[in-house]
Structure 1
Amino acid sequence: MKVKPSALFPLLRSDTQGQLLAALELSDRGETATDLARLVGTSLPTATRELGRLADAELIAVESVGRRAVYRPNRHHPLSDAVRQIALFTYGPHPVVARELATVPGIAEAAIFGSWAARRAGEAGPPPGDIDVLVVGDPDRDALYDALSRAEAALRREVNATVLAPDAWAAVDDPFVSTLRARPSVDLAVDTRGTG
């Protein structure tokens, strides 16, 4: 089966490769292939194959810990800083924004929409400049803006939120909501109604 190159950054072999690089760049402790496969939503054989390619290129380091292989970014590679920037710019928005929004009370749903989501879905176009986030619920506004600021610092780009009440998001006759629903989006799987 021919692997389709990444629409977010065509120099990457695949979306899976980009997601794996971003997950490793965001990990503080290193990750196993099993953990990485779960984090990026792919099969273990696919994760293992892509990790092998990255290790062969010496972009990531592999360490044996007992019977397990633990993967980390190779900070000694001459392109380490560039790889980190590429991984976070292209595939970092999903895990970074999800992590930061998980700290905000009152969110029922959240998703990335706009140009980043369109590229992630494979639509051709210029690189996305900012990250557009839909937040459904009644979030604590101070906590939300703090979370967005942390995401912006990590991603080095603007992160904008559109906040809608659940009844507004459920509206079937609202043109803005209809447009959002018709376009690509990436679910952030955030539900913090019970947080706080």
Structure 2
Amino acid sequence: MLQDMRQHELPICPACGELGRPNTLDHYLPKDVYPHFCVTPVNLFPMCDACQLAKGTKVGDARFPRFFIHPYFDVFVAERVVYLKIEAPFEAPAFSLEIADHLEQADAGLVRKHIRELAIHLRYATYFRNQYRRLLRLTSAMRNSGQDIRQTLETFRVGAAEPSLNAWEHVFYASVLENDDLIDYLCTAQLPSLL
């Protein structure tokens, strides 16, 4: 059974949405604290090394019974649960994560704790800065070849929606397309010369 679970074909970490095949199985309820659940299939799921290291043996407490989203039972994560806010000046924007406002209060609280406890926001920051620089280079190339920037970015967004709307690349491109001021900047403004 464990061997079968390790042979998964997930292209992203179900805990954080980072691209790359997770190479370990994590115990949702830590085996040191709950040894009787250590080989229960619903207690095991693939997770990337960064998430597993941050998670460790953390469990909830009386005030917050759960710190982590469970990829099998928390079905609300089939929808997009985080949004990236990209704020001007667009030459050097500020990025912040926002929790989807369509979530119920308890689910939104769980997403916040999950992001905080796994330190996802810190890894997001690096990824989104690098992805934004890539976006500026791509935009420059699209302009030079006469491509429709919005339509091309929409194609990127659609392509990144699989396997999850919470995959980092999808969150990025969806957030870019939802920001009309940023799209206007990408289409018409003088882009930074050092890309």
TM-score by length of 1: 0.26
- Please say which structure displays the higher CA radius of gyration: 2
